[in-house]
Amino acid sequence: MKHTIIASSIAACLLIVGATTPLTAAAADKEVQATDLVDIFEKLGGKHPGYRKAHAKGMCAAGTFVPSANEHFKDAALLSNGELPVSMRFSLGGANPNSDERAPGTRGLGMQIKLPNGSFHTFTGNNFPVFAGKDPETFFGFLSTLLPDENGKTDPAKTMAFIKANPSVQANAMWNQQAKTPASFANTAFFGLHTFYFDNANGEKTKFRWDIQPSLGVKTLDKDEAAKMPETFLADTFAKQLKEGTVSFTIMASLGEAEDSDIDPSQQWPAERPQVALGTVTVTTSGGDACKNTNFDPNMMSAGFTPSADPVLRMRSPAYAISFGKRLSNQ
């Protein structure tokens, strides 16, 4: 069954794409292309023409970004132009646009800030703090173990064997095993996962990873609480919170040291790394289709910012572009 819930205690930790799926462990050894990832998302979640191939179910929102001055990013155009407009899309993981919102697992956020010169800065994150694999090959190999066989049966033992043999998948799998259902998009923290750099006017380079923290705090529902909710509740909950008060998020940057990996999104940096605020996003409206045709590519950044050589981050641009093209052509 191509759904967001995998019916076994083992697979409960495997809701990364919100669906059921496999090749063999050897699949991690092949060079993976962006088309391979798009194809496997469709196999996991089913074909849904006109929708994103991952994070198909989502909700648009809009607001404003107010920068926070700090010495590490003082020359950034992103932080030097005052209040800026923001387009957002909150989402569930997986390729199924009809996903059950009561299920635990992946929630995502795409955020695009528009600068006065017409350029954009994009933040794309998920509610898990580590990625499921050190590179596209490992991630693809992991997803491949989740695919059903010719009889529609999945093999949890194959998945567990892959996780055991591939340490870079283990932290994400553990997170998913313990994940609860987010109470609201407004009560969810999002993590950029990848490493980026900022080069200031003096040639100094700042290495950082970002996360987005909700002003209303992180809140989740346990299994019994989630079961009492409607299958679709996130948009209504968010709209209610927006009507009752301020919904905002703070974009934080963790400053990396030389020993912190800039190419492996499956590794968390030490918690004691200093953090500085890049700014605050305040949501003003939610709903509508304004973000429907926006491509939230995290490699699209404003002047001074550059992506790291992280192979998963580099793979996102072609994968997003393929998904975007298929969506616009109703494939």
- Dihedral of CA atoms 228, 1, 58, 317 in degrees, nearest 10, equals 150
Q: Hey, where are the domains in the chain?
A: 34-329
Whether pTM exceeds 0.75: yes
The H or E element spanning position 137 is helix 136-144
Closest CA to 36 of 156, 165, 141, 110: 141
The DSSP bridge partners found for residue 210 are 253
The pLDDT value recorded for residue 222 is 95
The pLDDT value recorded for residue 29 is 57
The pLDDT of 287-314, averaged and rounded, is 97
Would you say residue 7 has pLDDT above 50? no
Residues marked as catalytic: 55
At 202-220, the pLDDT tens digits run: 888 999 999 999 999 999 9
CB 308 within 8 A of CB 108: no
- Rounded CA gap, 118 and 55, in Å? 27
CB 44 within 8 A of CB 243: no
CB-count burial class (<10 Å; 0-12, 13-18, 19+) for 309: exposed
List all residues 6 or more positions away from 200 whose beta carbon is below 8 Å from its beta carbon. 73, 74, 75, 76, 206, 304
The pLDDT value recorded for residue 177 is 93
Indicate the SS3 state at residue 38. helix
Pairing of strands 181-182, 120-126: unpaired
pLDDT band for position 199 (cuts 50, 70, 90): very high
DSSP 164-193: HH-GGGHHHHHHHHH--EES-GGG--EE--
The DSSP bridge partners found for residue 180 are none
| Structure tokens belonging to residue 232 | 């679709």
- Rounded CA gap, 176 and 325, in Å? 30
Q: Is the dihedral of CA 35, 36, 41, 47 positive or negative?
A: positive
The pLDDT of 285-314, averaged and rounded, is 97
At 107-152, the pLDDT tens digits run: 999 999 999 999 999 999 999 999 999 999 999 999 999 999 988 8
Would you say residue 97 has pLDDT above 60? yes
Annotated binding-site residue? 320: yes
pLDDT band for position 225 (cuts 50, 70, 90): very high
The pLDDT of 69-91, averaged and rounded, is 95
The pLDDT value recorded for residue 30 is 73
Query: What would the CATH number be for the domain defined by 34-329?
Result: 2.40.180.10
The pLDDT of 68-92, averaged and rounded, is 95
pLDDT band for position 69 (cuts 50, 70, 90): confident
Percent of the chain with pLDDT over 90: 86
The pLDDT value recorded for residue 38 is 95
List all residues 6 or more positions away from 111 whose beta carbon is below 8 Å from its beta carbon. 86, 87, 88, 89, 122, 123, 124, 212, 281, 296
CB 209 within 8 A of CB 192: yes
Pairing of strands 305-307, 220-221: unpaired
Indicate the SS3 state at residue 286. strand
At 255-269, the pLDDT tens digits run: 999 999 999 999 999
| Structure tokens belonging to residue 55 | 């994070």
